[in-house]
Amino acid sequence: MTIDARGVATPTMAAATDAGTAEAATAVAGATTPEAAESSPTLLAGVDVGGSKIAILLADPALRAVARHVVPTGSGDGVDGVRRIVAALDATLEQVGVTRRDVAAMGIGVPGRVDPEAGTVTLAVNLGWHALPLRDELEAVLGIPVGVENDVRAAAAGLHARGEAGGVDNLAYLAIGTGISAGVVLDGRLFRGPRGLAGEIGHVVLEPNGPACRCGLDGCLEALASGRAIAEAAALRIEQGPGSTIEEPVTARSVYRAAAAGDAVAGRLVERTGRYVARAIHALVMTYDVPRVVLGGGVTRAGTVFLDPVTRGLDELRAASALAREALPVDLVELLPPDADAGAWGGVILARDVATRPARPSPRGVPDGRR
């Protein structure tokens, strides 16, 4: 049996590998059996909440994928979000003929600021979730222990726990999507900082006179190299001078597609983005001394068209500085494959941590919630 980048057993999971693009649920034969899970809950549910979709990954204790299900995130509030996560979990369980009683724990990665101790989502701007007691709400409905973490931090911890990224104990996971953020693992432990700000490199200023960032500052990395920033910069250039083949609506994806096809406007943008990402990687290494930086997120799915300018940017830094040459070894950067599912696997690892943690007293009599 071979295991692909998501840790999914093949060929039985082959039909589910495109699940990220459409609502889909697929059971994996042979990974576990409902009968085996009947006596005590063993399954781990990882949830990756994105701006447009919620992915649920069900894994067995050996971290083999059992089922995967994707539903739209919707545009509702936190209460609606809880309802959708519950419905998505139930649909996933149904696919493999098990119930909530078979689930040991659930781990959720949320794109925004979270308080992992309190299990709350402080603020997830893109989701419209504010001061949401996500853990308590879900535990009350599901009767399953739940853990909540920032999505990128969860993904970083998951990559480390699963021995991805070369099995190193110090790494940074740099996620470049609509926004930019990093998760940092130091000496085998996720490093959050006392306020959960560690790794928020998206709001480090690279160009003091650059475009306005949502955080209030100008020229943050996120305002220069995120998917949103790439699309906005491209739209501005098309407006100023036509002659580009970038398809409308202009998105980071269409910019990278045009760059791959030789479009000059897109090509310059992609090169510029690569230089900014290279500087961010350099900053992560100089700050945390990580020997491995894993790149993931929507923008990186362009593959080599995305990575080559980053590599050129790193080469320029190496050429200019002996210190940078030492700090940035050739095996430093790793690009996640498009089907890596790092967010959902991060949720699975969080679920495993929650399942093995000493029980937290629950005022709501959680065990009775099991169906």
| Positions that interact with Zn ion (CB under 5 A) | 203, 213, 215, 217, 220
Cβ-based nearer residue to Zn ion, 203 or 318 = 203
> Torsion angle, CA of 104/118/181/71, rounded to 10 degrees?
50
What minimum distance in Å lies between the beta carbon of 233 and Zn ion?
A: 16
CA 362/CA 371 separation, integer angstroms: 17
Cα 195 from Cα 113, distance rounded (Å)? 10
* Tokens linked to 63: 């971290």
Q: Give the β-pairing of 293-296 and 333-335.
A: parallel
Other residues' Cβ atoms within 10 Å of the Cβ of residue 38: 13
Cβ-based nearer residue to Zn ion, 188 or 193: 193
Nearer to Zn ion, 76 or 219 (CB): 219
Is the dihedral angle over the CA atoms 232, 235, 240, 244 positive or is it negative? Answer: positive
Question: What's the closest the beta carbon of residue 207 comes to Zn ion, in angstroms?
Answer: 11
Q: Which residues contact 14 (CB under 8 A, 6 or more apart)?
A: none
Least distance in angstroms from the C-beta of 230 to Zn ion: 16
When the beta carbons of 51 and 369 are compared against Zn ion, the nearer one is 51
Nearer to Zn ion (CB atom), residue 84 or residue 214: 214
Distance CA 249, CA 176 (A): 20
